[in-house]
């Protein structure tokens, strides 16, 4: 038995759920997710920080104003605006070199940032330490509960008529002479679609035929109880030596970047490393109790700060390699997908295989 759709999306992480929401406005969509729920891999391990100025030498994320607008739009469309806590981000300078770079960023982007000296930082956030003598305040930016976001986006897509299937393993596909794609699910069932959008995250390596030169990086985050005497609700989002995202009476801390790894399980050693790193910004964390550790594998294009969205064959697309900036790129690129499927030449060159 065969079912027919306009677009089949393989993967229900951040990229797949954003694609499902935007494409379901006008197309018949099916989402195929091999796990029992969405965002079980890298998207599930993310702390959800949307930071417009990342890096030790801060520079603006790609198309940042459009990206933030796209993030707000998909959340609003899904009725999940409250998931975005857009309170700005404080970046404590942990060394003098950081401080110099942060001051330079504040001078370059005065409408977006401000330099806070150590006295003002102590007055605003007495629990935060900046050994470099101050901090960079990023006025726009915040955090999102990524698993909750994917669930909300998929739920809205279903309201529009999309089919979302869990435990559905994409096992094969082939383009048909008629111009569509015939898709094998769980090794037996067949689906027909006009387009196939592959958004499998690190699962791309299960399909050797893709032959994509992508880098896998294991990342870990931990959730800790707020130490006694520390009011988590009064803390800002912190990004500098790792990051700290307050979440109720707990804190989500991250992250690690392992390029050589043997398994996907969280590591106690990496949890200790995260605590050591983040306690440079928030000393009270040195003795915090770890409640939960999560690990996932990010995918990125080697030597590039851009994600990947491109047509691999006439009707087959890849959408992913979001790296650590998924919240600022997935909604933005998904916004253009309805157009890109019919007009591939409209794709931003930076995110295509032919970017060089």
* Model pLDDT for residues 159-171, shown as the tens digit of each residue: 999 999 999 999 9
CA gap 60, 53 in Å, rounded: 5
160, with CB counted inside 10 A (0-12, 13-18, 19+), is middle
Tokens of 320: 């992913």
CB atoms within 10 A of CB 208: 8
Domains and CATH numbers, the chain: 2-45+147-212+303-351 (3.50.50.60), 89-139 (no CATH), 215-299 (3.30.9.10)
Using 50, 70 and 90 to split pLDDT, how confident is the model at 355? low
SS3 14: helix
- Average pLDDT on 6-28 reads 97
Q: Which residues contact 303 (CB under 8 A, 6 or more apart)?
A: none
Element (H, E) at 163: strand 163-166
* CA 291 vs CA 226, 234, 273: distances in Å: 10, 20, 15
Reduce the DSSP state of residue 212 to 3 states and report it. Answer: coil
Give the bridge partners for 240, in sequence order.
Answer: 242
Give me the count of residues in the chain.
356
User: What pLDDT score does 55 carry?
Assistant: 86
Residue 208: what pLDDT? 79
- State the pLDDT at residue 354: 80
pLDDT band at 356 (very low <50, low <70, confident <90, very high): low
What is the mean pLDDT of the segment spanning 348-355? 89
Tokens 């032919």 sit on residue: 354
Q: Please name which of 312, 324, 241, 351 lies closest in space to residue 50, comparing C-alpha atoms.
A: 324
CA distances 37 to 152, 298, 316, 354, Å, are 12, 18, 24, 34
Measured distance CA(175)–CA(178) in Å, rounded: 8
User: What are the φ/ψ torsions at residue 31 (nearest 5 degrees)?
Assistant: -110, 125
Top pLDDT among 346 and 206 is at 346
Check whether 265 has a pLDDT greater than 90.
Answer: yes
pLDDT bracket for residue 151 (50, 70, 90): very high
Cα atoms in the Cβ-side hemisphere of radius 13 Å centred on 25: 14
pLDDT in tens, 185-196: 998 889 999 999
- Alpha-carbon dihedral sign for residues 111, 103, 72, 235: negative
pLDDT at 46 over 70: yes
Note whether 197 and 319 are within 8 A (CB).
yes
Calculate the average pLDDT of the chain.
94
pLDDT at 1: 40
Distance CA 189, CA 262 (A): 33
pLDDT band at 210, cuts 50/70/90?
confident
Residues 284-320 have pLDDT tens digits of 999 899 999 999 999 999 999 999 999 999 999 999 9
How does pLDDT run across 57-115, given as a tens digit for each residue? 899 999 999 999 999 999 999 999 999 999 899 999 999 999 999 999 999 999 999 99
Q: How confident is the model at residue 44 (pLDDT cuts 50, 70, 90)?
A: confident
Pairing relationship of beta strands 181-185 and 163-166 according to DSSP bridges: unpaired
Contact 209, 318 (CB under 8 A): no
The first and second tokens of residue 253, run together, are: 């801390």
Is the pLDDT at 2 greater than 60? The verdict is no
Give the closest residue to 169 by CA, choosing from 183, 154, 153.
Answer: 183
pTM over 0.85: yes
């Amino acid at each position: 038995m065969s079912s027919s759709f306009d677009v089949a999306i393989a993967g229900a992480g951040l990229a797949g759920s954003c694609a499902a929401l935007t494409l379901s406005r006008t197309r018949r969509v099916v989402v195929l997710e091999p796990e029992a729920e969405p965002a079980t891999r890298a998207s599930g391990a993310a702390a959800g920080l949307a930071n417009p100025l990342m890096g030790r030498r801060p520079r603006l994320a790609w198309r940042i104003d459009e990206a933030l607008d796209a993030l707000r739009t998909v959340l609003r469309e899904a009725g999940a605006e409250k998931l975005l806590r857009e309170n700005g981000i404080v970046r404590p300078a942990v060394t003098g070199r950081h401080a110099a770079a942060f001051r330079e960023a504040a001078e370059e982007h005065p409408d977006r940032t401000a330099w806070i000296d150590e006295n003002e930082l102590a007055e605003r956030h007495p629990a935060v330490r900046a050994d470099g003598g101050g901090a960079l305040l990023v006025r726009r930016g915040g955090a999102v509960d990524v698993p909750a976001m994917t669930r909300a986006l998929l739920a809205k897509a279903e309201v529009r008529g999309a089919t979302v299937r869990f435990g559905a393993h994409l096992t094969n596909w082939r383009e048909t002479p008629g111009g569509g794609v015939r898709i094998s699910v769980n090794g037996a069932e067949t689906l027909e679609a006009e387009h196939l959008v592959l958004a499998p995250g690190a699962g791309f390596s299960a399909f050797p035929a893709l032959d994509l030169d992508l880098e896998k990086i294991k990342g870990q985050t931990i959730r800790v109880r707020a130490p006694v005497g520390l009011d988590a609700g009064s803390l800002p989002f912190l990004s500098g030596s790792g990051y700290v995202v307050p979440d109720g009476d707990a804190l989500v801390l991250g992250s690690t970047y392992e390029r050589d790894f043997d398994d996907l399980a969280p590591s106690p050693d990496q949890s200790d490393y995260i605590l050591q790193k983040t306690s440079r910004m928030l000393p009270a964390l040195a003795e915090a109790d770890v409640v939960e550790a999560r690990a996932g594998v990010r995918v990125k294009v080697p030597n590039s700060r851009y994600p990947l969205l491109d047509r691999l064959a006439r009707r087959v697309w890849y959408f992913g390699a979001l790296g650590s900036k998924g919240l600022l790129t997935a909604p933005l690129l998904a916004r253009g997908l309805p157009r890109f499927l019919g007009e591939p030449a409209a794709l931003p060159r930076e995110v295509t295989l032919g970017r060089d």
